[in-house]
Amino acid sequence: MSTFTVGATLMHPEHRERSVVLDLLVDTGATYTLLPAEVIAELQLPILEERPAELASGERVVYGVGEARIRLGERERTTVFLAGPPRCHPLLGAVTLEEFGLAADPLHQRLFPVPALLV
């Protein structure tokens, strides 16, 4: 299976003039979007709480949780993010993908719309 990135604009949810453009690694195995500490500092995003997480290596960590505005293409949503360590690779997680109604196609390295499930 291949990995791919998508371009996104991250913004402070209340002060949208604070923004940064990033390439996010699409990671459907990650629950939440992960942002590096320097992006959080640049956008001055508040950390609302802490949450335990498990890395792909099996290591257990505790990361801060906050909210950011994200633009993918022409659409915007407010999403939950985890505050990662400095210089970590930013990830686009499953919660954010679901909020946008998108799924990943790693073969063609693209995101595509999917219908909401109400079962």
Per-residue pLDDT of the chain (119 residues; tens, 9 = 90+): 568 999 999 999 999 999 999 999 999 899 999 999 999 999 999 999 999 999 989 999 999 999 999 999 999 999 999 999 999 999 999 999 999 999 999 999 999 999 988 88
Provide the mean pLDDT of the chain.
Answer: 95
φ/ψ bin of 27: left (φ > 0), alpha (ψ from -120 to 50), beta (otherwise): beta
d(CA 35, CA 24): 9
